[in-house]
Structure 1
Amino acid sequence: MNDQITQIRAVGQSHPRREAREKVTGRIEYIHNLRLPNMLYGKIFRSTVAHARIVSIDTSEAAACPGVDMVLTGEDIRKIMPDPHFGVMFHDQPVLALDKVRYVGEPVAIVLASDPNVAAEAVALIDVDYDELEPVFDEMEALSAETFVHDELKPGIPEIQFLKGVRDTNVGFPYQLRHGGDVDTAFEEADRVFEHTFRTHPSAHVPLEPPVTVAEPTGAGLTLHTANQSPSFVRYEISRLLGWPQHRIRVRVPYLGGGFGAKLWIRLEALVAAAALLAKRPVKVSLSMEEQFYTITKHGATLKIKSGLDKDGRITARKCEVFWNGGAYADIGPAVAFHAGMTAAGPYDIENVAIDSFSMYTNRPVAGAMRGFGHPQLIWAYENHTDMMAHELGIDPLEFRRRNILREGKEHATGTALNTSSVEKVLDRVAERLQWGKPFERGEGTVKRGRGFAIGIKASIAPSTSEAIVRLGADGSATLICATVDMGQGSDTAHAQIVAEVLNMPVEMVHVVHPDTDVAPYDTGTLGSRSLYHMGHAARLAAEDAKAKLEELAAEVGAQPGSNVPIWELFARKNGMPVGHVVGTASFIPDGHIPPDPMTGQSPHITPYWMLGATGAEVEIDTETGRVTVLKMINVADTGTQINPKIVDHQISGASIMQLGQTMQEKVHFDFGQVTNASFADYKIPSMLDIPQIETSILDGAEADGPFGAKGVGETGSFCVSSAIANAVFNAVGVRVSEMPITGETVYRAMRAAAGEPLEEE
C-alpha cells in the first residue's frame, strides 16, 4: 500500500512457537482426547505367528461377550471395500488379514464396544486356526529363500506398473543407477580396491502419542479425525477404497504428539473408516505403546560398498548394493530404496558409479518412512567406508575427503549438478569446530578418548505439490489455510512468518488453520523436510496474491498510492462497513524436475535442492567394558536462510539426539518374528543423562530458489551422527564397528577380537 511504511521484519527472527502456551497449559487438541457421542472403541486382535494361511477365525465367543457391539474380520471389510488393500506405492496391505498373515502382530480382527475395557477382554476370546508357513526374516536370506511373502507383486501407481504380475520373488522394488563408464573396467584399472559390508537393525519411531483415529459417519459422507502427516493422501486413499468421490471424505488433523514418519500415509484410517461405516456409529482406535512396534519400524539394512582408487588416493569407481528390510508390506519402502539409493555414492566426485538398491519383503512388521528416509543407514556405511580407506592408505581422513568431495557446480552421480550447496564449506566447518589436527587429550589408563566426523548429502523429494490460501481480513489480520501438519517441527510458526513478511504485518496477526480437507487445499504431505521449501513457497505466493488483490481493492475505492488508508476503511468504502476479505491462492511445484532414466537413474534435474550436513563427535571408552560415552557432538548444517533461527537450532539438535539413540542403544529385538522389547521399559530412548554437549553450526548463505532463501532442515542433523561416532570409536581404540547399535558389548567384542582373544558367541 505505502512504500514509505517501515518494513516489519518477520523472516530471520526467533519468534516464539505459536502453540507453546497451549501445550504447556494442556489446552491443545489431540485426537487421543476426542470423545464423540455414541462412540465405539475398537481393539485389534493380532496374529501370533509370522507367516501362515488362515484356516478359520472363530469370533463367536467374543461376539457373545456382554457389551460387545460387533466383531469384524477381513471378510466383513469386503462388504464396503471390494478390494480392501491399501498402500502408497503398492496396493498390497489388507485392512484386516485375508487368507494369510505375514507378520506377528498383523491385524486379523477388531472388536467394537462402548467400553474399551470390554473390547480388550473380548479380543482375548477370538480363536484363529493357522496353517503355518516357513517365514523369512532377514533381508539377505529373502534373496534366495524358497518361501515368498507375497505370491505376486501389486504395484499401485503408474510409475511402477512394469512390476505388475511379477511372481515368486521377495524383491519388492529394484532400483539401479549407472554413472560414467563401465564400473567393472574402472575397478580393473584401479590401484587399490576396498570392499566392506555394514548392517543396521530396525528401530522404532515411538512418538509419545501413538497412532489414533476417530471415524465419524456424517450423512452421505465420513469424517476422519486422525493423527496423520498426510491428510490429503488419506482422503484420496479412503475414497479409492470405498469407491466414493473425494468430497464425501473429510480428514481433520490437529497437532500431533510426534510423528517422524510413523504417521504417514495410511495407518489406522482404513480400518477405522470401515468399522465406523459397518457399525453406523463413530469408532475410535487408539494404539498402545506396545502396538506401535507392530505397526511401523525403521528399515534395517545390509549395505555392501566397494571403491576403487588411483595412486593419488582419488576414488575412481564405486559399486553399492543395498538391501532394505521392508517387512511384510511395501508401504513407502520402494521410495526409500530409490531416494536413499541414488545418493549411495555420497557427496563425492566419482567418475564411475554403479548402485543397486532393493526393497525386500520379509515376515517382519512394516518398515516405512523415518527421519532421514534411509540416509542415516546409508551414510553409516559410506562414511565408515571412507574412514577405513583413509586409514588403510595412511592419509588423514580430512585430507582424504578433501581430495574426493564434490565441489560447487560438479555433477553428482545422479547427473544433477551440485548448486548452492557447498560440501567443502560443510567439511571445513566441522573440522574447524572439532579442532581437527590440533592436540587432543587421549585419556589415560583404561579410559581412552577419540574423535571423528562424517559428512552426508540428501536430495529433497521431487516432484511434489503444495497449495495454500491466504485470507486477508478487514481487521488487518491474515489467515493461512494449508495442509502442512505441525507435529512439533514448528511449521505453523515458520509459515506464519513468511506470510507476515510478505504482508508487512506482525507475525501475531497471522493465524494458521490446521489441516482439514474440507477447507485446506492439497499438499503432498509433511515428510522429507519438504514443507518449509514447498509450502513456504505456496504461502509466500498466496500472500503476494492477497496483497495484489488488496492493492486492486484500494484502487477500486479511490485510495491513492502512498495514502496509507487503513485496511478497515478500504473494506468500509467497498462494503458499507468494515467487513470482508480478499483471498490469495497459490500452488507450488518446483520448476524443471526431470524424472530419472529408469535404466541408469540419470537426470540433469533430479531434485529442487540438496541437503548437506556433517557431525563431529568426541567419545570416551572404558576399555574394560567397552562402554562408549559420547562427550560432545557438533552438528553442521547447510540450511539456507533461517526463517526462525531458534526453531532451526532445535530441529537440528533434536534430529541428532534422535539418531544418537538409534546409534547407541535403540534396536527392535525379534524372536522368530515376535518383538521382545515392545515397551519403554525395554526399548530405551535417550534420557537427559544420555545427551552430550551439543553444538550447532549453521552455514551462512541462501538457497537460490528457496522461499526467502530457505530450505528444509528437519532431517539434516540425523545424517552423520552414527558414522561420526563410529569413526571416533576407531580413533579412540582402533577397532571398527560395522553394525549398529554401538553397544558396550559390540565394542568390547571388537577389542577382544583385535587382540586375538575373541569371545564366544552367545
Structure 2
Amino acid sequence: MSVRALSGRVGDSVPRVESREKVTGTVEYIHHLELPRMLHGVIFRSAVPHGRIRRIDVAAAAAVPGVHRVVTIDDIRSVIPNPYYGPAFHDQPILADGKVRFAGEPVAVVLAADRHVAAEAAALITAEYDELPAVLDEVEAMTSDVMVHDELKPAVTFPDLKHLKGRRGTNVALDYRLRHGDPETAFATADHVFEHTFRTQQTMHTPMEPFVTVADVANGRATLHTASQGPSFVRIEIARLLGWPENRVRVRVPYLGGGFGGKLYIKLEALVTALSLLVGRPVKVALTMEEQFYMVTRHPCTFTIRSGVNADGRIVARTCKVVWNGGAYADIGPRVTQKAGFTSAGPYDIDHVAIDSCAVYTNRPPAGAFRGFGAPQTAWAYECHMDMIAAAMGLDPVAFRRKNLLRDGRPQASGTPTDDAALDIVLDDIERRMNWAAPFDRGSGRIRRGRGIAIGFKGITAPTTSVAIVNLYADGSCGLYISTVDMGQGSDTIMAQIAAEELDMDASLIRVVHPDTDVTPYDMGTLGSRSTFHMGNAVRRAAQDARSKIAALADELGLPPGSNLPLPEMLKKKYGMQAGNIIGTGSYIPDYEKPDTQTGRTRMGTPFWGVGGTGAEVEVDTETGELTITRLISVVDVGTAINPKLVQAQVSGAVIMQLGATTLEDMIYRDGHLTNGSLADYKIPTLLDIPRDFVNVHVDTEQRTGPFGAKGAGEISTIALSAAIGNALADAIGVHVLDLPLTPEKIFYALQAAGGRTVTGA
C-alpha cells in the first residue's frame, strides 16, 4: 500500500474520530453519569462580596425530608485538615473559611439523593456576616487599605511560578518586571511621545457543558469522574490535599462540552472529593449555567502604554504598565500576568522596553486561564495604540507596522528570538486579502464605514511536560494513550494523524484512549495552544520508539534487512499465535531558561510563538452608535496544518468567541454584586452576529521544532481581533473607544464627546 493511499495522514482533512459518537448522541459526558447510592450536592453561596462569617444556620435545610447532610467548612476540616488549594497560591478554601471574599462564594453544601430536594433545602440556609469594605477595581486595589488576603502561601508546584511570594501588606499577588535597554533616555531623544490607557472587562468562559464532578471515595481510593482540562494536575492536587500517594487517586475525563481554560487546575474536584469522603458515598456536583459565573472568569485589566517614535516612524522606546484583576483567589492568574506581560510591548523590534505587569486580588469571582491567556487583552491596547500613533503622524497603519515588525530570528523584548514566527507573512496576507491599497467606500450621511488591521502574538506556557504511550496490538491495530483532553478542538484526531504518519498506517486503525490517570500518562494540561506541539512531539517520539522496537524484533527473528513482513506476522512468528504487543513511549519537554531575576529577560522563554492577525470592516450608525461588522478576515500561523479543516474550525470558533468579548460580553457589578449572571442577560454571539464576509485561513509555514512542522491553533485568532475591530471603528468615526466591549452606548457617547453630532449629514 502506498503512503498516500493511507487515510488520516498529516495534511489530510479527515473527519474527527469521534464524529459518529457525537452525531448519534452516544458520546460520554459526566453530566450523564449516575452511580449507585450517589448523592447530589447543591451549593449555598455568599450574599455579600466581603465579610466575616458570624453565623451559618443550616437547621431548616437539614430538616427537609430527603436531605442526607448539610456540610460547612468545619465538616470539611474533619477529613481534610488544611482545606486550601490553588495552582499558584494555596489561597482558596474548599468552602468559605471564616470569611467570604466575593458575592457567590460557596459557603455550605446540601447533599440529597434527589438534586431538587437538595436545591430546595439550600434555599433555606441563612448566614450572617460582619460586612467589610469591598474593592472591585484593579487599579484601586493596588493601593487600597482593604486587604482581600492577610497571608499568601505559594504553591511552588510549577517551575515558572516557584519564585512567587506576593507583595506583603498589599493586594498584589505577582509583580512581573521586564527591562530592556534604557527607555527613559530614549524617550528624551524621541521626536514624538504617545501615551494611552486601555481597559478590558470581565467575561465568562460560557462552555455549553457547565462544571461537573463525580467523586467516589471508597476502600482507600478516590475515583473522580470530572469535566477537567488537566486530569494529571487534579490527581496531584487531590493527593496532596488528602495526604495520599498518587496511586490512590484516579481521575477520569471523557469528552468535554467546551472548556476554553475555565476547566483547568482544581475547580469542583476538591469540594466533591471531600464530600464523598465525609459521607462514604459517591457525590455529584453539577453547576447550573448561572453558577458558572461564580467559578472562574477572564481577567479584566487596565493597560497604560507609552511609546517614543522618531519622525521616520521608527519606535525607539515603549513602556507598559498592566494591572490584572485576579478576583478573590489567584488561580493561575500569576502565570497569565507573567506570560501575557512579557509580550505586552507587541510584536515589534524596539530597543528600549520596560514592562510592569501585576496580578491583583479584588472582591470579584476568581479569574484564571481563558482562551488567549491574556494576549487578547494586551493586544487590544498595543494594536489600538499603534493605529493612534499612525493617525497622529499621518502614517499608513500597515506600513507603520511593517517598519517596526520583528523579523524571523530577531530577539523580542524578553530576549527570546522570534524563530519561526511568521509575523511578516501574516501581515502581508491580511493586507492582500483586505485589498488595502484600493479605494474604500467610507459611506455618507449617518452610516459611516471604516476598516482596521491588527497583528499580535503570544508566548506559550513553559516549561511543561507531555508523555505518550503507543500500544501496537497483535493484529496491527494501535492504542494511543494520552492525557490530552478533547473538548471539541479535535485533539484526538490530530494525535491519531501524527501517530499514523510516523507508524505508516491508516489513522482509522488507531484508537485514542481518553484521559484516565490509572492508564494514561502525565500531561501538564490541555491549555495554551500547547497540545499539538507538546503532546504531538511526545506522540511522535512514542511512535518512533515503537518503530525501533519493531526493528529490534525483526533482528531477533533473523529477518533480512528491509523486510516488509507485517507486524502481526512477526508477532505470530515470535509467539506462535496472535499474541504480544509492541509498546512505545515518548515524552517531550521543551528547552526553557528561567528569566533573569533583575531584568525578566531570557533566551528561551517560549517553545514557540503563536502569531495571528485580523482585518475588519465595519459600518457605524452615528446617530445610535450601532456597530455592524461587515467583513472579518483572520489569518494565523500554525506551521504545518496537520488537519486543515480542523484548523479552520478552530480559527473560526476562536474568532466568534472573541467577537463576543469585543462587542457584547461584560460582567456588570453593582455594589459588588453581579447583575447579569445568566444567559438571559449576559449575551454571547449567535450566528446572526457573524459577518457575511467571514474568512478564516492559515498561512503555509513551518515550525521546525514541532511535530511534522506543526504548532497550536486554538487561541491564535483571538489575539488581534478586538483591536482590528476597534481600529476599524475609529477609522469610521474618527475617535477611538478605549474600553471594551464596544457597545452602541460607548460609541454614541464617544461621538458626542468628540463632537460627533456634526458627523450626521456631512
Q: TM-score range, shorter-chain basis?
A: over 0.9
By how many angstroms is 1:398 displaced?
Answer: 1.0
1:621 matches 2:620: yes
**Whole-Å Cα distance in 2 between the matches of residues 31 and 575 of structure 1?**
41
Residues 166/615 of structure 1: CA separation in 2 closer, same or farther (3 Å cut): closer
Q: Which runs of 5+ in 2 are unaligned?
A: none
Answer yes or no: is the 8 Å Cα contact 1:9–1:504 preserved in 2: no
Which SS does the other structure have where 2:168 is aligned?
Answer: coil
- Answering whether residue 58 of structure 2 is matched by residue 97 of structure 1, we say no
Q: Tell me the alpha carbon deviations over residues 38-87 of structure 1, each in whole angstroms, 9 at most, x when there is no partner.
A: 00000001000000001121212212221111111111111111110000
Q: Which range moves more in the overlay, 539-548 or 268-277?
A: 539-548
Q: Which residue of 2 aligns with 1:332?
A: 332
The answer to whether the 8 A contact 1:299-1:326 is kept is yes
In 1, are the aligned partners of 2:323 and 2:360 still within 8 Å (CA)? yes
1:276 aligns with 2:256: no
Deviations 1:135-172 (A, max 9, x none): 00000110121110001222111765665485321111
CA distance in 1, matches of 2:540, 2:608: 18
Match of 1:401 in 2: 401
C-alpha distance 402-166 of structure 1, shift in aligned 2 (>3 A): closer
Letter in 1 for 2:93: P
Letter in 1 for 2:145: E
- Aligned equivalent of 1:172: 173
For residue 549 of structure 1, what is the aligned residue in structure 2?
549
> What are the residue-to-residue correspondences of 1:112-511 with 2, within 5 Å?
112-157=111-156, 164=165, 166-180=167-181, 182-511=182-511
C-alpha distance in 2 between matches for 1:714 and 1:551: 37
Match of 2:259, SS state, is: coil
Amino acid at match of 1:263: K
Q: Aligned partners of 1:696 and 1:126: how far apart in 2?
A: 50
Is 1:632 aligned with 2:631? yes
1:72 alignment partner AA: V
Segment of structure 1 superposing worse, 304-313 or 518-527:
304-313
On the 8 A contact 2:422/2:701 being kept in 1, the answer is no
Is this contact kept in 2: 1:154–1:163, CA < 8 A?
no
Q: Which residue of 1 aligns with 2:37?
A: 38
Distance 1:152 1:390, change over 3 A: same
Q: Which residue of the partner structure matches residue 754 of structure 2?
A: 754
TM-score computed with the length of structure 2 as normaliser: 0.97
Q: Which moved more, 1:154-163 or 1:98-107?
A: 154-163
Give the residue type in structure 2 aligned to 1:284: K
Q: Does residue 66 of the first structure (1) align with residue 65 of the second (2)? A: yes
Deviation of residue 311 (structure 1)? 2.3
Q: 1:166 to 1:304 in 2, by over 3 A?
A: closer
Cα distance in 1 for partners of 2:113, 2:2 equals: 62
TM value normalised by structure 1: 0.97
Unmatched tracts of structure 1, length 5 or more:
none
> How far did residue 579 of structure 1 move?
1.8
CA contact (8 A) 2:262 2:368 kept: yes
| Counterpart AA for 1:633 | L
Deviation sequence 1:424-450 (CA, Å, 0-9, x none): 111111111111121112223221111
Q: Retained in 1: the 8 A contact 2:257–2:488?
A: yes
Structure 1 counterpart of 2:743? 743
Question: Displaced runs of 4+ in structure 1, greater than 6 A?
Answer: 2-9
**Secondary structure at the residue paired with 1:512?**
strand
Tell me how far apart the structure 2 counterparts of residues 163 and 698 of structure 1 sit (CA, whole Å).
37
Hey, what's the Cα distance between the residues in 2 that align with 1:433 and 1:752? Answer: 34
CA contact (8 A) 1:193 1:307 kept: yes
Answering whether residue 13 of structure 2 is matched by residue 14 of structure 1, we say yes
State the AA in 2 paired with 1:401.
R
Aligned CA distance change for structure 1 residues 589 and 161 (closer, same or farther; 3 Å): closer
Structure 1 residues 599-632: Cα deviation after superposition (integer angstroms, max 9, x where no partner) = 2111111111111110000101111111000011
Q: Please give the alpha-carbon distance, in whole angstroms, between the structure 1 residues aligned to 2:3 and 2:607.
A: 36
1:55 aligns with 2:54: yes
Letter matched to residue 76 of structure 1: D
Separation (CA, whole Å) in 2 of partners of 1:324 and 1:12: 39
Q: Provide Cα deviations, 1:664-708, integer angstroms capped at 9, x if missing partner.
A: 101111122221111111111111111112112321121111100
Letter in 2 for 1:741: P
2:673 counterpart residue number: 674
Output the CA distance in 1 between the equivalents of 2:617 and 2:80.
55
Confirm whether residue 536 of structure 1 aligns to residue 497 of structure 2: no
> Which amino acid in 2 is paired with 1:642?
A
Q: Are the structure 2 counterparts of residues 637 and 40 from structure 1 closer, same or farther at C-alpha, using a change threshold of 3 Å?
A: same
* Aligned mates of 2:133, 2:454 — CA distance in 1: 41
**In structure 2, what is the Cα distance between the partners aligned to 1:82 and 1:694?**
54
Structure 1 pair 632–174 and aligned structure 2 pair: CA distance change class (3 A): same
8 Å CA contact 1:153, 1:166 repeated in 2: no
Which amino acid in 2 is paired with 1:56? R
Displacement of 1:560 in angstroms is 2.8
Residues 306/551 of structure 1: CA separation in 2 closer, same or farther (3 Å cut): same
Rounded to whole Å, the distance in 2 between the matches of 1:161 and 1:664 is: 37
Alpha-carbon distance between aligned partners in 1 of 2:215 and 2:318, rounded to the nearest angstrom:
50
Closer/same/farther in 2, CA of residues 635 and 163 from structure 1, 3 Å limit:
closer
Q: Distance in 2 between matches of 1:162 and 1:495?
A: 34
Q: What is the identity, as a one-letter code, of the residue corresponding to 2:378? A: L
Instruction: Tell me which amino acid in the other structure corresponds to 2:222.
Output: L
- Secondary structure of the structure 2 residue equivalent to 1:367: coil
Distance 1:152 1:184, change over 3 A: same
Provide the rounded CA distance (Å) in 1 between the counterparts of 2:696 and 2:603.
32
The residue identity in structure 2 corresponding to 1:172 is A
CA deviations over 1:520-564 (Å, ceiling 9, x no partner): 110000000000000000000101111111222223223333443
The question of whether the paired residues in 1 share the 8 Å contact of 2:53 and 2:129 is answered with yes
2:698 is aligned to 698
Worse-matched range after superposition: 19-28 or 287-296: 19-28
Counterpart CA distance in 2 for 1:184 and 1:578 is 74
Structure 1 window deviating more from structure 2 (100-109 vs 394-403): it is 394-403
- Number of the residue aligned with 1:80: 79
Aligned mates of 1:9, 1:529 — CA distance in 2: 22
Structure 1 residue 289: deviation in Å? Answer: 0.4
Task: Say which SS state the counterpart of residue 199 (structure 1) adopts.
Answer: strand
**2:166–2:173 CA contact under 8 A, matched in 1:** no
Q: In the aligned structure 2, how far is the partner of 1:316 from the partner of 1:359? A: 28
Deviation sequence 1:558-599 (CA, Å, 0-9, x none):
333344323222111111211221100011111x31111122
The alignment of Structure 1 onto Structure 2 pairs a total of residues equal to 755
2-structure distance, mates of 1:313, 1:558: 70
Cα deviation for residue 8 of structure 1 reads 6.5
